[in-house]
């Protein structure tokens, strides 16, 4: 029994000292007075130990030290108005206790008074919220008045000996219960935060859709421009190919007409030669037949010449048409270059705008993210601190509960051991069965009392423990929610960075499209410039050839006119010569007559004298009449001779003038023929160069048959030019001003950029 007394003195020292009882209602319901149940326990040491008051010093003064309880201003004012005496529920309270353990029973002292510090709410407003430690974060948290009334009523009804803790412990219990009750994790704020996050995600999805649609619109516009450019270029190339085919057909028809005209000219020359030979051989029948054939050949030659001129005109028209469609192709390429350049400018501006918008949006999102992150960090720190404090409080409470029931548990174990000992003694000492049974019954009663006290203590802490556990779970849920929000913010940060990267990539892609478009525009512009310069170069050759053709036609007309003038002058000279010969013959006959008359008149005078002497007067009269007639005739002839001489002089002057004019015309004709030959040589050289260029184009495109035909034409043109040079004794220096390089328009229309540049470099021209 002495050991039991010692256990009572050692184990019951600090059963409920320093503890905070949260809900006094359960304490009132489960703590009946020990004195009423066991009025007489003096005979039993166990009963004496259980009935003795638990008087000891506080177990641990630092049980809830360091816990700062914060309530809002409204929460502070309302309880203070309702319960002025409950100072622990209306102020910011910091409670600290000290622990001292003794081994001897002492009188139950009053615990150290709690230091109460009242603080006012801070009015500072900063971007980053201030760190608040405690459970006063939720505003307008009003304590349950019914619970306070129950607490006060139970506190007034509870006897001093029914609880192992003093009245001040109950006040601490009220403070802690109110402070724990005042803590609640704000689910409405989390719901609002979730709604805000959902709405923000929807806005971001809309922005992403707009961004993606904008990006796709730029790429779609570039694809549409490329398609439009391709269609225009294909149409232009198709038109060029069609006109080129027409030009080739015209060239073939001109070639056929030229061959026919050449054959007709050869036939005409052969017939002229045969006519001259027939005339020289005085084969007039053959000459007449050849003359008829020559006239027919001349008509055929004229018809073929007209056909050749028509074919030449068709070729010139087709060349002009080909030049027009090439200019149209160049215009299309320039338009394509303009479209691409405009798109490049727009794409570059759009890329800059996208990057600027992305940077602005990234800056805004980063500001919002930083704000949310800072707020979340603050909330997380608060929750972590609250969780740490609540966890500490829970641990301390559990330790306090364990410490509170520690002596009872030890007493319970001792009683169970004593029960076993008594049972053994009961078995051993059957003689003392009744006494031991009474002792066992008493011991069981004491066990029930101790178990009831343990249950009462446990039930008194059950509500606080469940409240703390619920708050602990709520804090864990809040921390989990904070972790989720933190993960959401991290994900949001990744999305912001990804959005910025995507926008930068999109801006880079649009910039690349702008660069590609600009490069393609420059390429099209360069190709158009090359085609234009080559076309202008070819146009100059064509203009030179056309000018030479026009000049040749004019010179041919002049030569024909001069030939007609020469023929006319020669005809006139022949007529004058015939007239002169006739006059000279007449003058000769007149002279002969005059000589005859001069000779006859003396003879007639002599005969007249003879007749007169012979007295033949009739004969003398006749002779005199004859002589007189001869004299009259002589006078008339002399007059006529004088007129004829004058006329002959005029004819000689006219003949001289005609001869001089004919010589001048022949000089002009020779000059015109030389100029015509020069023009024909230049034109033949230009034709040979153009045909050579066309042959190069045919070889480029693999048309060997056409290349061989064009080679024959070029050689024929060069041979004709060489013959004309030899015939008129031209020197090579006189043709140095002719171009040395020629370009086929088919090459100009079909070659690509690099080949055009090489072709332009080969002809040594500057791209305009």
Percent of the chain with pLDDT strictly greater than 70:
71
Checking if the pLDDT of 690 tops 50, the result is: yes
Mean pLDDT (whole number) for 463-472:
77
Under a CB-based contact definition with an 8 Å cutoff, are residues 21 and 169 in contact? yes
The confidence score (pLDDT) of residue 194 equals 53
Closest CA to 21 of 11, 13, 31, 12: 31
Confidence check: pLDDT of 497 > 50: yes
Q: Which has the closest alpha carbon to 316: 261, 254, 358?
A: 254
pLDDT tens readout for residues 620-643: 888 888 888 888 988 888 888 888
pLDDT reported for residue 567: 84
Q: Give the end-to-end CA distance of the chain in Å, rounded to a whole number.
A: 127
Exposed / middle / buried, residue 441 (Cβ in 10 Å: 0-12, 13-18, 19+): exposed
Phi/psi zone of residue 140: left (φ > 0), alpha (ψ -120 to 50 degrees), beta?
left
User: Is residue 468 packed enough to be buried (19+ CB in 10 Å), middle (13-18) or exposed (0-12)?
Assistant: buried
Closest by CA to 317, choosing from 261, 233, 253, is 253
What is the crossing angle of helices 187-280 and 284-404, to 10°? Answer: 170
pLDDT of residue 213: 60
5 confidence band (pLDDT: 50, 70, 90): very low
| pLDDT tens by residue, 186-197 | 444 445 555 555
Q: So where are the chain's domains?
A: 15-33+55-184
Q: Are 719 and 669 spatial neighbours (Cβ–Cβ below 8 Å)? A: no
- Longest Cα–Cα distance in the chain: 256
Q: How far is CA 261 from CA 252, 254, 297, 352, 719, in A?
A: 14, 10, 11, 70, 17
Listed in order, strand segments (DSSP E) in 6-140 are 93-94, 115-116
Per residue in 525-542, pLDDT (tens digit) is: 888 888 888 888 777 777
Average pLDDT along the chain: 72
State the pLDDT at residue 385: 87
Q: Any idea how long the chain is?
A: 768
CB 322 within 8 A of CB 482: no
Q: Residue 446: is its pLDDT beyond 70? A: yes
From residue 675, give the alpha-carbon distance in Å to each of 547, 682, 720: 14, 10, 16
- The stretch 588-611 carries a mean pLDDT of 86
Q: Which residue has the higher pLDDT, 34 or 644?
A: 644
For 119, the token pair is 């603080």
On the question of pLDDT at 121 being above 70, the answer is: no
Alpha-carbon distance of 344 to 355, in angstroms, equals 16
Across the range 95-101, mean pLDDT stands at: 36
CA-to-CA distance for 204 and 535, rounded, in angstroms?
56
pLDDT at 8: 42
The whole-number pLDDT of residue 140 equals: 39
* Cross-strand bridge partners of residue 116: 93
Mean predicted confidence (pLDDT) in 428-443: 75
Range with the largest mean pLDDT of 150-164, 608-622, 737-751: 608-622
Whether the predicted pLDDT of 649 surpasses 80: yes
Rg of the chain on CA atoms, in Å? 71
Q: Is 739 helix (H, G, I), strand (E, B) or coil?
A: coil
| More confident position, 109 or 306 | 306
Q: Are β-strands 115-116 and 93-94 bridged in parallel, bridged antiparallel, or unpaired?
A: antiparallel
Percent of the chain with pLDDT over 90: 0
Going from the C-alpha of 590 to that of each of 578, 610, 647, the distances in angstroms are: 18, 29, 15
In DSSP terms, which residues pair with 94 in a beta bridge? 115
Buried b (16+ CB within 10 A) or exposed e, 657-684: ebeeebeebeebbeebbbbbbbbbbbbb
Buried b (16+ CB within 10 A) or exposed e, 61-94: bebbeebbbbbbeebbebbeeebeebbbbbbbbe
Question: Residue 399 and residue 389: Cα distance in Å, rounded?
Answer: 15
Helix and strand tally (H, E) in the chain? Answer: 15, 2
- Cα(135)–Cα(321) distance, integer angstroms: 94
Confidence of residue 208 (pLDDT cuts 50, 70, 90): low
**pLDDT bucket at 211, cuts 50 / 70 / 90:** low
Burial annotation 601-639 (CB, 10 A radius, 16+ → b, else e) = beebeebbeebeeeeeeeebeebbeebeebeeebeebee
pLDDT score, position 102: 36
pTM of the predicted structure, to 2 decimals: 0.53
Q: What is the mean pLDDT of residues 244-251?
A: 87
Q: pLDDT tens, 712-736?
A: 888 988 898 888 888 888 888 777 7
What digits encode the pLDDT tens for the residues 389-434? Answer: 888 887 888 787 777 777 878 888 888 888 888 778 777 777 766 7
């Amino acid at each position: 029994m002495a050991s039991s007394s010692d256990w009572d003195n050692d184990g019951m020292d600090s059963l409920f000292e320093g503890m905070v009882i949260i809900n006094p209602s359960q304490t009132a319901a489960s703590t009946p007075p020990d004195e009423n149940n066991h009025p007489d326990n003096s005979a039993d040491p166990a009963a004496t130990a259980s009935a003795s008051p638990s008087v000891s010093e506080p177990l641990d003064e630092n049980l809830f030290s360091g816990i700062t309880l914060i309530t809002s201003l409204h929460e502070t004012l309302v309880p203070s108005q309702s319960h002025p005496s409950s100072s622990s529920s209306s102020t910011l309270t910091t409670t600290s206790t000290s622990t001292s353990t003794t081994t001897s029973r002492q009188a139950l002292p009053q615990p150290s008074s709690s230091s109460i510090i009242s603080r006012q709410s801070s009015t500072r407003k900063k971007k980053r919220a201030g760190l608040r430690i405690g459970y006063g974060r939720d505003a307008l948290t009003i304590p349950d008045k019914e619970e306070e009334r129950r607490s006060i009523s139970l506190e007034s009804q509870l006897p001093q000996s029914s609880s192992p803790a003093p009245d001040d412990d109950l006040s601490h219990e009220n403070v802690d219960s109110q402070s724990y009750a005042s803590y609640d994790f704000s689910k409405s704020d989390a719901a609002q935060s979730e709604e805000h996050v959902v709405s923000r995600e929807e806005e971001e999805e809309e922005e992403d859709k707009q961004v993606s649609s904008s990006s796709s619109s730029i790429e779609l516009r570039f694809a549409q421009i490329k398609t439009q450019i391709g269609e225009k270029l294909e149409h232009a190339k198709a038109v060029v190919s069609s006109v080129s085919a027409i030009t080739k057909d015209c060239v073939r028809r001109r070639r056929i007409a030229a061959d026919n005209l050449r054959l007709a000219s050869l036939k005409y020359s052969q017939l002229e030669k045969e006519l001259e030979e027939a005339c020289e051989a005085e084969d007039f029948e053959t000459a007449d037949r050849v003359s008829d054939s020559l006239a027919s050949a001349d008509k055929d030659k004229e018809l073929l010449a007209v056909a050749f001129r028509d074919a030449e005109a068709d070729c010139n028209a087709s060349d002009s048409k080909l030049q027009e469609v090439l200019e149209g192709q160049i215009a299309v390429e320039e338009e394509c270059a303009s479209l691409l350049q405009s798109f490049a400018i727009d794409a570059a501006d759009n890329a800059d705008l996208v990057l600027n918008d992305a940077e602005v949006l990234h800056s805004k999102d980063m500001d919002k993210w930083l704000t949310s992150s800072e707020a979340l960090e603050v909330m997380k720190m608060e929750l972590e601190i609250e969780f740490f404090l609540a966890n500490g409080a829970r641990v301390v409470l559990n330790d306090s509960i364990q410490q509170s029931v520690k002596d009872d548990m030890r007493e319970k174990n001792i009683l169970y051991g004593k029960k076993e000992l008594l049972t053994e003694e009961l078995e051993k000492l059957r003689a003392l069965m009744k006494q031991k049974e009474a002792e066992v019954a008493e011991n069981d009663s004491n066990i029930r009392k101790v178990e009831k006290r343990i249950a009462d203590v446990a039930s008194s802490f059950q509500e606080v423990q469940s409240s703390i556990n619920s708050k602990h779970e709520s804090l864990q849920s809040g921390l989990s929610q904070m972790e989720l929000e933190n993960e959401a913010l991290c994900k949001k940060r990744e999305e912001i960075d990804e959005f910025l990267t995507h926008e930068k990539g999109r801006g880079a892609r649009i910039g690349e499209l702008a660069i590609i478009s600009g490069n393609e525009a420059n390429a099209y512009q360069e190709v158009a410039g090359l085609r234009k310069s080559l076309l202008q170069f070819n146009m100059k050759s064509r203009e030179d050839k056309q000018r030479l053709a026009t000049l040749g036609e004019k010179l041919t007309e002049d030569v024909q006119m001069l030939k007609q003038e020469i023929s006319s002058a020669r005809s006139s000279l022949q007529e004058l010569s015939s007239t002169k010969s006739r006059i000279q013959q007449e003058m000769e006959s007149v002279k002969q007559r005059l000589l005859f008359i001069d000779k006859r008149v003396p003879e007639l005078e002599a005969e007249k004298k003879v007749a007169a002497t012979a007295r033949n007067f009739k004969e003398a009269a006749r002779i005199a009449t004859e002589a007189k007639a001869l004299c009259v005739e002589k006078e008339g002839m002399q007059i006529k001779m004088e007129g004829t001489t004058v006329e002959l002089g005029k004819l000689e002057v006219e003949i001289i003038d005609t001869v001089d004019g004919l010589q001048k015309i022949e000089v002009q004709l020779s000059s015109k023929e030389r100029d015509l030959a020069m023009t024909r040589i230049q034109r033949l050289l230009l034709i040979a160069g153009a045909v050579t260029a066309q042959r190069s184009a045919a070889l480029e495109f693999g048309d060997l048959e056409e290349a061989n035909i064009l080679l024959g034409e070029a050689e024929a043109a060069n041979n004709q030019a060489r013959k004309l040079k030899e015939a008129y004794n031209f020197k090579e220096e006189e043709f140095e001003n002719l171009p040395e390089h020629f370009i086929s328009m088919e090459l100009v229309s079909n070659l690509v950029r690099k080949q055009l540049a090489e072709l332009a470099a080969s002809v040594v021209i500057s791209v305009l």
